Chain A
Amino acid sequence: ELKVEQNPLFLSMQEGKNYTIYCNYSTTSDRLYWYRQDPGKSLESLFVLLSNGAVKQEGRLMASLDTKARLSTLHITAAVHDLSATYFCAVEKRGAQKLVFGQGTRLTINP
């Protein structure tokens, strides 16, 4: 059974600092997605990672995928308040069109 775990689940950080959110998964997959959710809102796609070693960057966010370690990271550089949100990773089960989400990481960035 595919399990997806994120850590930390809660993260409070100061503006200007760097930090990383980790997404581990339990069975082989080479398709991983990152989403952002603002309070009371829907989910917004951030990154699609489709192969080992894939790296995507958008502004202050950078995501990477290591399929051998079954690990993806979402790195935040020089955080700003606008990045405060809950971040989810989701992994597609190989051979099935099912998506399994992590629990989410609630990120709060303080001025």
Chain B
Amino acid sequence: GDSVTQMEGPVTLSEEAFLTINCTYTATGYPSLFWYVQYPGEGLQLLLKATKADDKGSNKGFEATYRKETTSFHLEKGSVQVSDSAVYFCALSDQGQAGTALIFGKGTTLSVSS
């Protein structure tokens, strides 16, 4: 079945450092790919998405490119801030399958210190 694998955390960085969180997927169809972020005490918020190969999703300085050849969707940010401290989830959704739920990775905790 479909699955998502993302790097284990926690990831600890200093402010203004470069961030990469790796995500790879396995899917039989043509999935859409997502990154969600969860701040402490909150639900998940959609951070960015890509619906087809070579698409780049971006939001709030974060970027991720849908790479079909490597089945990857790595999250990057050039300069992290303390306010980026949160848990990040990679997810996929197979298009065209009514009622199919999102499949999530296990989440990666990011901690940014000043």
A and B: bona fide binding partners? no
* Residues of chain B having any CB pair with chain A under 8 Å: none
